[in-house]
Amino acid sequence: MNSLIPIFVCVLIVVTFGGLMLSVAAWFGAKAKSPATKAKSLPYECGLEGQEKESSRVPVQFYLTAILFILFDIEIIFLYPWALTFNDFLSQGQGLEVLLAMIIFLLIFVYGLFWEIFSKALSWK
C-alpha cells in the first residue's frame, strides 16, 4: 500500500490542478454573447448567401478510414526500429524473446485487420 501513495498524490494533484484551471477559466474567461441580429450569427462567405446544404455532413466512413490508417501507420513505425535493431538483440542472446514479442504484436494487428474485413468496417455502402 505504501508504494501506491505517490500515485494517489499525483492523481490528486492532477485532478486539483485541472479543476482549478477550469474554475479560473469559467470565472475570468470571456462569456459568450448572443448576437444582436440574425445577420451577425450567419457565416460570412464574401457577401454571398451560405452554400451549405443538408447533405454536406462528412460520413463516418471518412473518420473510420483515417483512424484505421493512423493505427496501421503506427504499426509500421514500430516495425521499422525493431527491424533495424534485431541483429543487436540476436548478438546479445535475446533474439527469441524479441521475436516472440513482435510476433504477438503482429498477430494482434492481423487479427484487427481480419476483423475490419469481416465486419465490413471499410465498406462504403
Q: Where are the domains of the chain?
A: 84-125
- Band of residue 31 on the pLDDT scale cut at 50, 70, 90: confident
pLDDT, position 45: 62
What is the rounded distance in angstroms from the CA atom of residue 69 to the CA atom of residue 51?
31
Q: What are phi and psi of 83, to 5 degrees?
A: -65, -35
Per-residue pLDDT at 116 exceeds 90: no
pLDDT, position 90: 92
> Per residue in 9-36, is it b (16+ CB within 10 Å) or e — as a string?
eeeeeeeeeeeeeeeeeeeeeeeeeeee
pLDDT, position 7: 92
Query: What's the alpha-carbon Rg for the chain, to the nearest Å?
Result: 26
Contacts of 35 (CB under 8 A, 6+ apart): 41
